[in-house]
Amino acid sequence: MPVITLPDGSQRTYDQPVTVAQVAASIGSGLAKAALAGKVGGKLVDTSSTIAQDAALEIVTDKHPDALEVIRHSTAHLLAQATQALFPDAQVTIGPVIEDGFYYDFAYKRPFTPDDLAAIEAKMAELSKADLPVQRSEMPRDEAVTFFKAKGEHYKAEIIASIPAGETISLYGQGEWVDLCRGPHVPSTGKLKVFKLMKVAGAYWRGDSRNEMLQRVYGTAWTSEKDLKDYLTRLEEAEKRDHRKIGRELDLFHMQEEAPGAVFWHPKGWRVFQSLIAYMRDKQQAAGFDEVNGPELMDRSLWEASGHWEKFGENMFTTQTPDERVYAIKPMNCPGHVQIFRQGIRSYRDLPVRFAEFGKVHRYEPSGALHGLMRVRAFTQDDAHIFVTPDQITSESVAVTKLILDIYRDFGFDDVRIKFSDRPAKRVGSDEIWDRAEAALKAAADAAGIAYSLNPGEGAFYGPKLEFVLRDAIGRDWQCGTLQVDLNLPGRLGAHYIDEHSQKQTPVMLHRAIFGSLERFLGILIEHHSGRLPAWLAPTQVALLSITDRQDDYLRALSESLKNQGLRVETDLRNEKIGFKIREHTLQRVPYLLVAGDKEVAAGLVSVRTRNGKDLGQMTPQTFVERLGIELGSRGRRTLED
């Protein structure tokens, strides 16, 4: 007689094992009709899943936080079924849920065309309207291999063959179509009403470039037409804000095939990049960090000792010298910082020791994953490592968390969510060490008074971490900053300090990044602001525009004065109409345009316009500088328009 506890705390007792669907029906016919899946003891299950013991149950409807995962997973199967209905020779491989949608990889004799995608989407709608029941079944592994081979599904058979012998395989069928899957899925195809196929791209089988190329069909699915429309609108807005497009328009940077995943910074882009560094350098110095710099090339033995070689070896760039020593270009800065800490004898009185570095790192990313500034192979980290005693973990973590959130606010990110990522499957260190590290980080998060969600299994290989996720102007989330508690790496690399009893102790190391990758953070900023960077960060803060050549000397002198006061200035003395100049510099997103004609020169004034087209009137250059100074000092919270 299972007792089912519902989210509101109420309980229902049944005289025999009961399915999720039956529980929903016993509550009400409306809930039974709306049920997409269940969540039993925190685990998602089908509505056909049987509950034989006492359990906590949530009925997953389209209002539930997990609804989209189930819908998108099921819609991926709908895509595969529709594709094979139209193209019987197409073989299916895998079809996971991804952010905002799903994809399915197919092996087919020719590329799918846009017309093919339209036909597949229409077939999906037809199968949805048919409201086919979705049924789960099980089969022994070897029998499942034979089953899929007989269907000509050799990729699927290979996947199953890689599963340990003796495992039972779950299959899901809808109509006559069957696929391998762990589930769960919606109870029938009629639950899948709001979807759209987006594009097709190439993908290597199992992500290995040595394998054959497959076709990856991307789609999206939602619980309502409004949500789909809003998503498509966000995509349109994201396309307008694409940092690669804006980077070209503003002459900030470029990338080219001869240096895949690396950035060629142009003068304007480099100004912004250096402004980010200068800003962070000031913040770090005020917070007690000492800036250091470690070698970019270090012997393989150091990376083996740290554990990085085993974890990241295939993603590290290496070189071999004539004497056959193998060196790796650093993929991260932490081992170098430990080496600096180890020089000399450290006392507990010296701790905390805070090292920061704008370290250039290199990591091999597959060419298909590269994406402008957002995914590169060569990037700069605002990396820091704090060596502390166990008693200092909480206070230092609280200070770092405050620093991170303060900095994000300076860049206009007030909506920041925090995730707690605990031990991954592949890690170094004992469970006891991980227990201590996770407890310490949770205590620090609680002391800082921050709310966080759990992100199971996503910690670094050496320690748990807090991940700081920014939400941008169009509602996208970007994971940037991290704070990690590491009880493993210092000991592996021989770091120690002398405690108050003259005994050697291994320090705890806190890993901290705020921007994460400066390249990626700048890409996020460009898209967040649609290229209209705040004046304190803009590559050009002020453009001086003449109406005729009679103002040239006046503006040249003014330009020199403004530059001497630390402003980034461009002077446009071209023989062009003033309307043309204003339009051109507005398109370049220059925050302030200072126009001078004969009247302004005679009175020692400038006419001030903003890039948004607002006329702020005439003022003396010094008044402008004073008002702009207030804006720059407030990081854009107050502008000349206020």
Would you say residue 123 has pLDDT above 80?
Answer: yes
Tallying the residues shown for the chain, one arrives at: 642
Q: Distance of CA 266 to CAs 182, 254, 257, 527, 567, Å?
A: 49, 8, 17, 18, 19
Q: What share of the chain is helix, strand, coil (3-state, %, to 5)?
A: 40, 30, 35
| pLDDT confidence of residue 51 | 93
Residue 148 belongs to domain spanning? 67-238
Would you say residue 556 has pLDDT above 80?
Answer: yes
- Phi, psi angles (nearest 5°) of residue 413: -105, 95
Q: Which of 180, 178, 175, 174 is nearest to 145 (CA)?
A: 180
Residue 535 lies in a domain: no
Task: Give the DSSP letter string of 519-549.
Answer: HHHHHHHHHHTTT---TTT-S--EEEEESSG
Would you say residue 478 has pLDDT above 80?
Answer: yes
Which residue stretches of 9-153 are H helix?
Answer: 20-27, 29-34, 67-86, 114-130, 141-150
Would you say residue 183 has pLDDT above 90?
Answer: no
Reported as a single tens digit per residue, the pLDDT across 346-358 is: 999 999 999 999 9
Would you say residue 642 has pLDDT above 80?
Answer: no
165 pLDDT tier (thresholds 50, 70, 90)? confident
Domain boundary among 528, 554, 588: 528
Domain boundary among 466, 494, 528: 528
Domain boundary among 60, 79, 107: 60
Question: Which CATH number does the domain housing residue 54 bear?
Answer: 3.10.20.30
| pLDDT confidence of residue 546 | 97
Mean pLDDT score, 160-176: 88
| pLDDT confidence of residue 441 | 87
Q: Are residues 442 and 511 in the same domain?
A: yes
| pLDDT confidence of residue 50 | 93
Q: What is the mean pLDDT of the chain?
A: 93
488 pLDDT tier (thresholds 50, 70, 90)? confident
Task: Please list, in sequence order, all residues whose beta carbon lies within 8 angstroms of the beta carbon of residue 641, skipping any fewer than 6 positions away.
Answer: 610, 614, 616
Q: Are residues 563 and 422 in the same domain?
A: no
| pLDDT confidence of residue 1 | 79
Q: Residue 331 is inside which H or E element, if any? A: none
| pLDDT confidence of residue 430 | 84
Query: In the beta sheet, which residues pair with residue 106?
Result: 92, 215
Would you say residue 101 has pLDDT above 90?
Answer: yes
Q: Which of 589, 592, 559 is nearest to 252 (CA)?
A: 589
Q: Which of 34, 37, 29, 73 is nearest to 58 (CA)?
A: 37
Mean pLDDT score, 600-616: 96
281 pLDDT tier (thresholds 50, 70, 90)? very high
Q: Are residues 138 and 268 in the same domain?
A: no
Would you say residue 368 has pLDDT above 80?
Answer: no
Of 600 and 366, the one with more pLDDT:
600
Question: Which CATH number does the domain housing residue 594 bear?
Answer: 3.40.50.800
Give the separation between CA 161 and CA 156, rounded to whole angstroms: 9
Tokens, residue 97: 């849920």
Question: Which CATH number does the domain housing residue 362 bear?
Answer: 3.30.930.10
Reported as a single tens digit per residue, the pLDDT across 495-544 is: 999 999 999 999 999 999 999 999 999 999 999 999 999 999 999 999 99
Q: Are residues 363 and 260 in the same domain?
A: yes
Of 555 and 460, the one with more pLDDT:
555
> Whose structure tokens read 């050799």?
154
| pLDDT confidence of residue 461 | 82
Reported as a single tens digit per residue, the pLDDT across 35-90 is: 999 999 889 999 999 999 999 999 999 999 999 999 999 999 999 999 999 999 99
Q: Are residues 483 and 548 in the same domain?
A: no
Q: Are residues 42 and 168 in the same domain?
A: no
Would you say residue 206 has pLDDT above 90?
Answer: no
Q: Are residues 25 and 79 in the same domain?
A: no
210 pLDDT tier (thresholds 50, 70, 90)? confident
pTM, to two decimals: 0.83
* Lowest pLDDT segment from 22-31, 248-257, 409-418, 632-641: 632-641
| pLDDT confidence of residue 389 | 94
Reported as a single tens digit per residue, the pLDDT across 77-90 is: 999 999 999 999 99
Mean pLDDT score, 361-382: 92
Q: Are residues 554 and 590 in the same domain?
A: yes
* Lowest pLDDT segment from 141-145, 355-359, 597-601: 141-145
Residue 246 lies in a domain: no
Residue 228 lies in a domain: yes
151 pLDDT tier (thresholds 50, 70, 90)? confident
Query: In the beta sheet, which residues pair with residue 637?
Result: none
Task: Please list, in sequence order, all residues whose beta carbon lies within 8 angstroms of the beta carbon of residue 110, skipping any fewer than 6 positions away.
Answer: none
Burial classification of residue 413, based on how many CB atoms lie within 10 Å of its CB (0-12 exposed, 13-18 middle, 19 or more buried): buried
Q: Are residues 485 and 340 in the same domain?
A: yes
Point out the residues that are catalytic: 334, 363, 381, 383, 385, 465, 511
Longest dimension (CA), the chain: 96
Tokens, residue 69: 């995962």
Chain-centre distance for alpha carbon 299: 31
Q: Are residues 337 and 218 in the same domain?
A: no
Q: How many domains does the chain contain in total?
A: 4
| pLDDT confidence of residue 483 | 93
**Which one-letter amino acid corresponds to residue 365?**
E
